[in-house]
């Protein structure tokens, strides 16, 4: 008995707020996926064991290294960034290993939680969320770890929750200054392809990334860039692992294949995305993000609001976290009510406050496939939504952002 | 310095064998993705924390249960099917647990290997690859396991490597007859959405599936359907897990969300695919696959070749493995040379022989979005390629397949 | 001899200004095509003589009438709007017929030129481009045409070149007041689906439209909505015609077909577009355009620039034409240099001044699939580009537009 | 009042016969559109007056000449092929001009009808539909036309209704032998891009084409390739014309633009299609069509059916017309009942008999983006449907086609 055209789910109805024009996806990721990437993703799936796939994979696995700034292998998983966190740990460590994790934001905390669940012993540096990673604190912990019981140092390059970046080369210097052999693992989920990053030059051992931010893809791919030292560590590491095992993947990848079925269509998109990054030039991409971060902060300042990040040398070019202002009674205006109104009335998605910041901040993503006018539209949406919510801000933010964009092109 | 339109990867060049019409993707998966699903996947990514996503997810998580034949939760991962294998084990077992795994094909062996890597102790039933799973052997092992040291029984529903299916309800009966409390875990990666399957009715505890076969999606999603008993086991199971943890996902899913970023665009495709399965009716889908399996075997028999599966009640409706004929010297014709010629000259991808079958068999996938004429085209390609390779076959295969298709519509 | 992957045209390279985010297409048409419509257009072409096409066509030909406000047939051509102009004339008139054409803008003039080329004798009312159509002038001409030598009155509903609308019901009243039997033909190329329009209620005889504006489709479809009176006229009209002949099309359409091959894929898109208009409700669509026109004019006024249209009751909700300010020497700033800079630096396409307005005005399209934030982005682009060109404007335009948008939601 | 998600048309439901795999579109056009072309068509529409469009158009207008075999201009219309017929006539002739039209099939007759409606005086050669164009008959008419009252000779290169091709170079020779100055106009709607064609070399004055056949695009574009002589004729030709006027288009095209809005997205597709033809090489494309025509006729002969075309040197490589066999009572089996069953049961669209062939023939298109296996699938569908209808045919057709394909690769 066949049903007569049921419309149970009909995804097209959910994917497009009908009659409201193009949605402004200004969360700090997933970001706006370029039309070229979407058109690459929707090509028919091909045989992941055949010669066409092989040629594509070999090219892709070569070119993706450039994006990480490495000449060593980059492993690509069908997974979220969370999966890539797990992969970094289970490939290099032993059960019960101590790892030094710098908790300067919510995603850092989630990584700590994940490490614990896997049976590691995270030693946490309780970071200042508004100032970010202080490399000297890493140095001081490592300097005291004379027997080198700490096996890895884990840092988030761009804290999506706070909009604060970490100086990875300074972290490297701190580890070196302590002459400590710990592996350096860096989460670049929300920085790769948006903020200057150099896996090899900065001596990173495992770089963790995801597809849905600076790489301008839908979510679904996780990445590990791997140093020679990390690779060596993986030969003796005893944490149980299978899906995440680098060894099988790296040896299959050398032939242009994967040990298990890869996410073929997302790889099509990745190839297109890498082409686009190459066409523009990574330096230009980074410059654009810096410029948009600056314009966003100019707007915030003009509104009379506070950027959550208080470390001026650590402002994120990829996303900005904004504190809701206080009401006369000392409580803060409700960030989530504001975001709801922004979505319903102005068709813009903004990021919510996470963990202890829930309800008191909101976040603007300004990374991925974005240009000046999209940013102005997004900031206009924020300005109008703030105003509509009765939140006491000036109406000068968009103007200030335009001033900033006009200054340097 | 910006490069002048480099064409480093240009995925469109790899994805389409130019001027050769539509590719025949007849491996046993990934399968042919329907145009409607591709068009759903390429919609712009949306906020995975917003109300549109929530509505889509709630509907999808409800409807996907029907496909598994369960009223219990189905967990969806950004992963391959291999990831879903791992998830099934790490959520329910303890390090060092004994699991009874029926090795009746290559994928069963891979699952064994994975279990070992995770620190489990697989006890393997060395199955006959040409006859498949014999439930009585499971019964006999369990009956002897008086102290219930075996914690799970793992069976592959449709062995993609051999084209042999297992009778899951008989396996259930064998476990019950032994009054054994082991969990029953079933791999349906290449059967779900193609071959009748009933998670609840057959008393399966964890069903493992992937997106790229009967669900007619590109690869990139893994699934676990979970019984109440398995869920209970997961509360006390001590294997380390984080990414794969059911608990976070199930509780997030109740609100229509995921704990980490889900593969949004593949979920769009899944919603469309589930709509299509509902429009046709699962029973009709299963019938179509049975019919196509039968027609394929008719062709093989007419060519004078041997279907690898020798258990007539276990022929797979989803894919068929074919033995290459012997040469006068007793060796077999080279299956891979044949497949290469088929690809280059006739633009059809066929599956290779795996593990001990390498080079001596090839495989035809006849699952997913396929119809009679596509099947005839595919079988025509096989017939012409066999002939072109000088392999001694009759030229009656396609005719026999058409006879079969005409018999029952 | 086969060439080795030449990249002769590679349309993807032209279609996307790489690394510059989404293009702002703010010409007064073609307009921004919604993602849903693009995804409908790219479905595989089907048999235009088969039952699926028939069902789609019958539904479409029924629903499209609502958009025109008519219960009479609407004829759809594979053509531009220019073709639909020609169709309106050749189906209803005789060679040498006199037609009264109100020239209040460039497109009206082009229609006059087309009528002349077809052998008609246009009698032109030389309109004031800044005030638009004055129905009393039509009345006065018709009242003098005692022998009814004028066979048709041609008016443009929304003059894309000037941003001035005409009051069609007043034109109808003027014709009626003169008791003149001339047919009323109205060009709605840039108004249909954006500005309230009522073919039947306003007594229009032939409505001319195109796909690429308010209908939110790519260009390639032309339309004629036809009154009973016009249909009757067509039975005796002697202008030579074949491709444009209503008779064959209307009789084929009754069965759900076309006499020659229709532009199938654009019809797919039209069906989706009509669905979207229905989901939103035409009244809401019209309201949105009025609101966006108002916000645009608020910006222009705040910049200190002049809206070209000087008739406050005729401001176009679909597009606005803006005068470049004068330089001290009395000449005007170069509109085309400004538009070039806007495109290169801010990735926005604006409309040029046409005919006598060339170089002295530019045009902003605010019709089709647009929302508040896209409009703010577009106006931000105009403001920044004006500023970058050294054109003396205030920096208050975007703010004023936001004020306007906030006033009425 | 907004309706709650009505599903009035939902084109996705009509475009895909759910659960039936990929449709076999085997009418003689529109043909199967390659995935690459569909993905090009669905890119966002761009400004047709901007520099990106200009670059694309200049390249396209240059490369499209190669496809026609000409170094002279090719004019592209938003229209069907019928529109391009009209354009050829109205640009070059005067009202009442005599044109010699060779009626050897239904499309030739339609062209005659169109010429009459435009006020021309067609002198028809009543051709033998089963043998096609006899150039000597053209010669004999022209030789008698001493005062050169005949202004043009109109011939269809590939008669889609009959599957018979005309020898255009022989037609040219016949005209030359009569030393007659008439223009030579050739309809290549169903041959261009599928059958060798040489506008310049064969001395054709106007070549008429459409997008939806060998060019592998959806319908919606019409073409005129124009010789110097035809262009000269157009300077003095007095037939009324506007939309179709070459002069405006050619002069706009020189700058990379069109006088009215072109069908931008179909031009995107055309650019991709031309790229694909160039990648394969036109000679290879022609060879493939010849081979597929031969295989199709082999099947027909093996079934015991008659190819409609009886002129062995005029078999069409693009499409084949097949006579239904006679029943004992002398009437023929019903072709339309057969086609209906083929569509419903086997998901294949076949062409119907046109005009006097209605109900007694059916047509198989084997042009466009097709490969051996798709053809085998299609012929399998025909064989099974014939059999299912109880039409007395052998079951050897598909085998015979495969023999033929195997002979020459």
Q: Please give the full DSSP string across A20-41, using - where no structure is assigned.
A: S-S-EEESSSS-PPPHHHHHHH
pLDDT tens sequence across A126-161 = 999 999 999 999 999 999 999 999 999 999 999 999
User: How confident is the prediction for chain B on average, in pLDDT?
Assistant: 95
> D381: which chain C residues are within 8 Å (Cβ-Cβ)?
none
pLDDT tens sequence across A318-328 = 999 999 999 99
Domain annotation covers residue C240: yes
Sign of dihedral through CA atoms C44, C45, C50, C56?
positive
Question: Rounded to a whole number, what is the distance in Å from the CA of C356 to chain D's nearest CA?
Answer: 17
Give the whole-angstrom CA distance, residue A353 versus residue D206.
Answer: 67
Give the whole-angstrom CA distance, residue A238 versus residue A95.
Answer: 7
pLDDT at B17 (0 to 100): 58
pLDDT at B395 (0 to 100): 96
Chain C from 342 to 381: CB within 8 A of any B CB = none
Tell me which residue has tokens 């606005």: C320
Q: Tell me the percentage of chain D whose pLDDT exceeds 70.
A: 96
* Exposure letters B17-44 (e unless 16+ CB within 10 A, then b): bbbbbbbbbbbbbbbbbbbbbbbbbbbb
- Spell out the alpha helix ranges (H) of C193-281: 228-236, 246-254, 264-280
pLDDT at B16 (0 to 100): 57
Tell me which residue has tokens 């894309």: C160
Kindly state the helix (H) or strand (E) to which residue C377 belongs, with its residue range: helix C372-388
Same domain, C245 and C286: no
pLDDT tens sequence across B176-224 = 999 999 999 999 999 999 999 999 999 999 999 999 999 999 999 999 9
Give the pLDDT mean for D167-180. Answer: 98
Q: Please give the full DSSP string across A115-181, using - where no structure is assigned.
A: HHHTT-EEEEEE-BTTTB--HHHHHHHHHH-TT--EEEEEEESEETTTTEE--HHHHHHHHHHTT--
Q: Which chains touch B (3 or more CB pairs under 8 A)?
A: A, C, D
> A36: which chain C residues are within 8 Å (Cβ-Cβ)?
12, 15-16, 18
Domain annotation covers residue C87: yes
- pLDDT tops 90 at residue A277: yes
Give the pLDDT mean for D107-124. Answer: 98
- pLDDT tops 50 at residue A5: no
Same domain, C263 and C192: yes
Domain annotation covers residue B12: no
Give the pLDDT mean for A333-360. Answer: 97
- A44 contacts B32? CB cut-off 8 A: yes
* Cβ atoms of residues B393 and B303 within 8 Å: yes
Residue that finishes a domain, picked among B230, B258, B279: B279
C5 part of contact set with chain D, CB < 8 Å: yes
Can you give the three-state secondary structure of chain B, one letter per residue? CCCCCCCCCCHHHHCCCCCCCCCEEECCCCCCCCHHHHHHHCCCCCCCCCHHHHHHHHHHHHHHHHHHCCCCCEEEEECCHHHHHHHHHHHHCCCCCEEEEEECCHHHHHHHHHHHHCCCEEEEEECECCCECCHHHHHHHHHHCCCCCEEEEEEECEECCCCEECCHHHHHHHHHHCCCCCEEEEECCCCCCCCCCCCCCCCCCEEEEECCCCCCCCCCEEEEEECHHHHHHHHHCCCCCCCCCHHHHHHHHHCCCCCCCCCHHHHHHHHHHHHHHHHHCHHHHHHHHHHHHHHHHHHHHHHCCEECCCCHHHECCCEEEEECCECCCCCECCHHHHHHHHHHHHCEEEEECCHHHCCCEEEEECCCCCCHHHHHHHHHHHHHHHHHCCCCCCCCHHHHHHHHHHHCC
Same domain, D237 and D271: yes
Residue D19 pLDDT level (bands cut at 50, 70, 90): low
Same domain, A22 and A47: no
Give the pLDDT mean for A348-376. Answer: 97
pLDDT at B8 (0 to 100): 61
Cα R_g (chain D), whole angstroms? 22
User: How confident is the prediction for chain D on average, in pLDDT?
Assistant: 95
Give the whole-angstrom CA distance, residue B406 versus residue D178.
Answer: 57
User: How confident is the prediction for chain C on average, in pLDDT?
Assistant: 95
Strand partners, D206: D185, D226
Same domain, B45 and B131: yes
pLDDT at D27 (0 to 100): 97
Same domain, D362 and D378: yes
Domain annotation covers residue B2: no
- pLDDT tops 60 at residue D5: no
- Spell out the alpha helix ranges (H) of A158-281: 168-177, 228-236, 246-254, 264-280
- pLDDT tops 50 at residue D2: no
End-to-end CA distance of chain C: 63
Residue D58 pLDDT level (bands cut at 50, 70, 90): very high
Residues of chain B predicted below pLDDT 50: 1-6
Same domain, B109 and B80: yes
* Cβ atoms of residues D180 and D147 within 8 Å: no
The domain that holds C17 is classified in CATH as: 3.90.1150.10
Mutate to test the interface with B, among C3, C4, C5, C6 (most CBs of B within 10 A): C5
Domain annotation covers residue C2: no
Question: Rounded to a whole number, what is the distance in Å from the CA of D242 to chain C's nearest CA?
Answer: 6
pLDDT at C5 (0 to 100): 36
CA D346 to chain CA mean position, Å: 25
Same domain, A329 and A272: no
Strand partners, C126: C103
Cα R_g (chain B), whole angstroms? 22
- Tell me D86's DSSP state: H
To the nearest 10 degrees (0 to 180), the angle between helices C372-388 and C397-407 is 160
Give the pLDDT mean for A299-317. Answer: 98
pLDDT tens sequence across C151-203 = 999 999 999 999 999 999 999 999 999 999 999 999 999 999 999 999 999 99
C334 part of contact set with chain D, CB < 8 Å: no
Give the whole-angstrom CA distance, residue A19 versus residue C272.
Answer: 12
pLDDT at B18 (0 to 100): 56
Same domain, D190 and D307: no
Give the whole-angstrom CA distance, residue B208 versus residue B225.
Answer: 7
pLDDT tens sequence across C126-157 = 999 999 999 999 999 999 999 999 999 999 99
Question: Rounded to a whole number, what is the distance in Å from the CA of A39 to chain D's nearest CA?
Answer: 6
User: How confident is the prediction for chain A on average, in pLDDT?
Assistant: 95
Question: Rounded to a whole number, what is the distance in Å from the CA of C405 to chain A's nearest CA?
Answer: 9
Question: Rounded to a whole number, what is the distance in Å from the CA of A402 to chain C's nearest CA?
Answer: 7
Which one of C9, C47, C222 has the shortest CB-CB distance to D25? Answer: C47
Spell out where A29-120 has E strands.
Answer: 74-78, 98-103
Q: Print the domain residue range for B367.
A: 18-33+281-407
pLDDT tens sequence across C315-353 = 999 999 999 999 999 999 999 999 999 999 999 999 999
The domain that holds D211 is classified in CATH as: 3.40.640.10
Q: Are strands C24-26 and C348-352 parallel, antiparallel or unpaired?
A: parallel
Same domain, B322 and B196: no
Domain annotation covers residue B11: no
D214 part of contact set with chain B, CB < 8 Å: no
Same domain, D201 and D293: no
Give the pLDDT mean for C221-227. Answer: 98
pLDDT at A15 (0 to 100): 61
Mutate to test the interface with A, among B10, B42, B249, B277 (most CBs of A within 10 A): B42
Same domain, D332 and D183: no
Domain annotation covers residue C5: no
Residue that finishes a domain, picked among D216, D247, D279: D279
* Residue A205, helix vs strand vs coil: coil
Give the whole-angstrom CA distance, residue A224 versus residue A222.
Answer: 7
Using a 10 angstrom Cβ sphere, with 0-12 exposed, 13-18 middle and 19 or more buried, the burial of residue A388 is middle
Q: Is the peptide bond before D30 cis (omega within 30 degrees of 0)?
A: yes
Chain D from 28 to 67: CB within 8 A of any C CB = 29-33, 38-53, 55-56, 59-60, 63
Give the pLDDT mean for A338-345. Answer: 96
Domain annotation covers residue A5: no
Which one of C5, C35, C44 has the shortest CB-CB distance to B44? Answer: C35
What pTM was estimated for this model as a whole?
A: 0.97
Q: Are strands C206-210 and C183-187 parallel, antiparallel or unpaired?
A: parallel
Into how many domains does chain B fold?
2
Residue D71's CB is within 10 A of a number of other CB atoms, namely 9
pLDDT at A199 (0 to 100): 98
Give the whole-angstrom CA distance, residue B263 versus residue C52.
Answer: 33
pLDDT at B20 (0 to 100): 77
Q: Which residue in D147, D145, D196 sits closest to D175, CA to CA?
A: D145
Numbers of helices and strands, H then E, in chain D: 14, 14
Cβ-proximal residues to B241 (8 Å cutoff; 6+ apart), any chain: A117, A118, B87, B90, B91
Residue C279 pLDDT level (bands cut at 50, 70, 90): confident
Residue that finishes a domain, picked among D264, D279, D294: D279
């Amino acid at each position: 008995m066949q049903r007569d055209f049921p419309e149970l789910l009909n995804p097209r109805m959910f994917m497009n707020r009908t009659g409201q024009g193009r949605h402004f996806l200004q969360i700090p990721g997933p970001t706006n996926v370029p039309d070229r990437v979407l058109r690459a993703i929707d090509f028919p799936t091909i045989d992941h064991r055949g010669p066409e796939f092989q040629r594509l994979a070999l090219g892709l696995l070569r070119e993706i290294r450039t994006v990480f700034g490495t000449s060593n292998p980059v492993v690509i998983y069908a997974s979220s960034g969370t999966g890539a966190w797990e992969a970094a740990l289970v490939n290099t460590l032993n059960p019960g290993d101590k790892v030094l994790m710098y908790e300067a934001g919510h995603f850092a905390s989630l990584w700590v939680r994940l490490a614990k669940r896997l049976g590691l012993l995270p030693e946490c540096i309780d970071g200042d969320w508004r100032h970010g990673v202080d490399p000297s604190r890493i140095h001081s912990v490592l300097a005291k770890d004379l027997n080198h019981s700490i096996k890895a140092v884990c840092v988030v390059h761009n804290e999506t929750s706070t909009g604060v970046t970490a100086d990875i080369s300074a972290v490297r210097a701190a580890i070196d200054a302590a002459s400590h052999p710990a592996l350096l693992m860096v989460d670049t989920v929300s920085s790769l392809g948006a903020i200057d990053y150099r896996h090899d030059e900065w001596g990173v051992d495992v770089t963790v990334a995801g597809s849905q931010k600076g790489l301008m893809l839908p979510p679904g791919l996780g990445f590990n860039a791997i140093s020679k030292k990390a690779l060596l560590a993986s030969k003796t590491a005893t944490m149980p692992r299978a899906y995440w095992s680098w060894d099988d993947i790296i040896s299959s990848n050398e032939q242009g294949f994967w040990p298990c079925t890869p996410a073929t269509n997302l790889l099509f998109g990745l190839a297109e995305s890498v082409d686009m990054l190459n066409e523009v030039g990574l330096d230009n991409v980074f410059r654009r993000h810096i410029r948009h971060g600056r314009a966003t902060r100019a707007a915030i300042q003009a509104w009379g609001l506070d950027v959550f990040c208080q470390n001026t040398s650590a402002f994120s070019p990829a996303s900005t976290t904004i504190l809701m202002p206080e009401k006369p009674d000392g409580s803060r205006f409700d960030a989530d009510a504001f975001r709801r109104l922004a979505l319903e009335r102005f068709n813009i998605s903004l990021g919510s406050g996470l963990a202890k910041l829930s309800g008191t901040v909101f976040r603007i993503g300004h990374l991925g496939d974005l240009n000046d006018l999209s940013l102005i539209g997004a900031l206009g949406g924020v300005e109008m939504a703030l105003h509509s919510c009765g939140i006491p801000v000036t109406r000068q933010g968009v103007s200030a952002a335009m001033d900033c964009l006009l200054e340097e092109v």
